[in-house]
Amino acid sequence: MSDETSLTLFQQQELNRRRTTWLLAAFVLFFAWLGFGGDYIYALYTAHAPPAAQHHVWWFGVVMLAVGALLARYAYQTGPEKVLWATDAQEVIDPVDDQQRQLVNVVEEMAIAAGVPRPRIWIVPDNDPNAFATGTDPRHAHVAVTQGLLDLCTRDELQGVIGHELGHVKNLDVRLMTTLAALVGAIVLMRDGTNRIFWGRGGGGGGGSGGSRRKGDLGPLVLVLLVVWVLSWILAPIITQLLAVAVSRKREYLADAMGAQFTRNPLALASALQKIEAADMPTTHIKSGAAHMCIADPLGRRLTAHEGRLADVLATHPPMAKRIAILKGMGYAQIKKEGGVVS
């Protein structure tokens, strides 16, 4: 468990606000490095070329800095819609059957218990049981569940799952996790597009005898910087995804505890997680970009079931068995406190 579980709600919210700000700033600075770094490399490459062929105006850096700032703003503002679009989620506006009416009722009840406005409700047409929340703050939040979860869970279990997701909403986890998901997609898109543009140009820019002298004088430096620059493009999506993993894994424990608090029924959430874990239905709509936002790892990766430093770095969720054990312990302690019989 993380030390973050000992923070108050307001401390957790403030921490998530700061982390979101740092993330967006790092994203913009990363694009600045890609732009001005590329300009610097090209300036070295053409340093001994004829004046007309030298790289003097660092336009790529200015463009990339502007692109980074605009993408960061766009990702922050439209991240929830992109996540919902990517999972093919359909909003429940007028419930058409008993399942949807029950879902709406449960969300409304849990929103009251959590003390947050009722989020917009979505259903993902996926038989794999799962759920996630997205949004920028409690007033602009969305809760999505898969059709498989509605088919699998009882009302009490559904309450536990929705309570968990509203825990993410209340402590502003959704802001950070949605921003991460949007930025991962933006980095991948920009990397692929820029690589096509600039690799297509090759290194053409300095030729003739000046090029020969330049290679002799600056070849190693240009090569090292070029390798670092290219690796930045290649590793950026991986690093961002690892960041999403690092900030999501231990947050699940806190959201479990908050869901148990909202429902006052930890055993219902434990039962829901057991059913979700036992379900053997591959996901068809939730991909890696949104996997870290779900209540359970939709991709079924083996590392998720393990603990340790490697799992903490690479797994999106804590071990389900440990989460269930903690919730059962909370439930049995509650029963004992209330004078019930623990079987």
Please state which of the ranges 181-190, 205-214, 261-270, 298-307 shows the lowest mean pLDDT: 205-214
Is the per-residue pLDDT at 266 higher than 90?
A: yes
pLDDT value at position 244?
A: 60
Burial level of 226, CB count in 10 A (0-12/13-18/19+)? middle
Query: Is 266 in contact with 325 (CB distance < 8 Å)?
Result: no
Residue showing tokens 């004992």: 336
Query: Is 136 in contact with 164 (CB distance < 8 Å)?
Result: no
91: DSSP letter: E
pLDDT value at position 50?
A: 82
Q: Which helix (H) or strand (E) element contains residue 181?
A: helix 173-201
HEC secondary structure over 197-230: HHHHHCCCCCCHHHHHHHHHHHHHHHHHHHHHHH
pLDDT value at position 214?
A: 44
Alpha-carbon gap, residue 8 to 100, rounded angstroms:
34
Residue 283 corresponds to which tokens in the numbers above? Answer: 């996901």
Q: Between these two residues, 214 and 86, which has the higher pLDDT value?
A: 86
User: Tens digits of per-residue pLDDT, 239-259?
Assistant: 666 666 656 566 888 899 999
**Closest by Cα among 99, 63, 96 to 197:** 63
User: Tens digits of per-residue pLDDT, 87-100?
Assistant: 999 999 999 999 99
Alpha-carbon gap, residue 175 to 168, rounded angstroms:
9
pTM for this entry: 0.74
Give the max Cα distance, the chain. 91
Q: How many CA atoms within 13 Å lie on the side-chain side of 36?
A: 10
HEC secondary structure over 129-151: CCEEEEECCHHHEEEEEEHHHHH
Residues annotated catalytic, as ranges: 165
- The full length of the chain comes to 343
Alpha-carbon gap, residue 313 to 246, rounded angstroms:
6
pLDDT value at position 313?
A: 53
Is the per-residue pLDDT at 342 higher than 80?
A: no
Task: Write phi, then psi, for 96 (nearest 5 degrees).
Answer: -110, -10
> Which of 29-38, 260-269, 297-306, 328-337 shows the highest mean pLDDT?
260-269
pLDDT value at position 332?
A: 86
Share of the chain above pLDDT 90, in %: 33
Q: How far is CA 273 from CA 80, 129, 146, 342, in A?
A: 25, 10, 14, 20
Bridge partners of 121? 143
Sketch the domain layout of the chain as residue ranges: 1-337
HEC secondary structure over 263-330: HCCHHHHHHHHHHHHHCCCCCCCCCHHHHCCECCCCCCCHHHHCCCHHHHHHCCCCCHHHHHHHHHHH
pLDDT value at position 207?
A: 43
Across the range 4-8, mean pLDDT stands at: 56
Is the per-residue pLDDT at 205 higher than 50?
A: no
pLDDT value at position 134?
A: 93
pLDDT mean across residues, the chain: 79
Alpha-carbon gap, residue 303 to 117, rounded angstroms:
36
Report the SS3 class of residue 115: coil
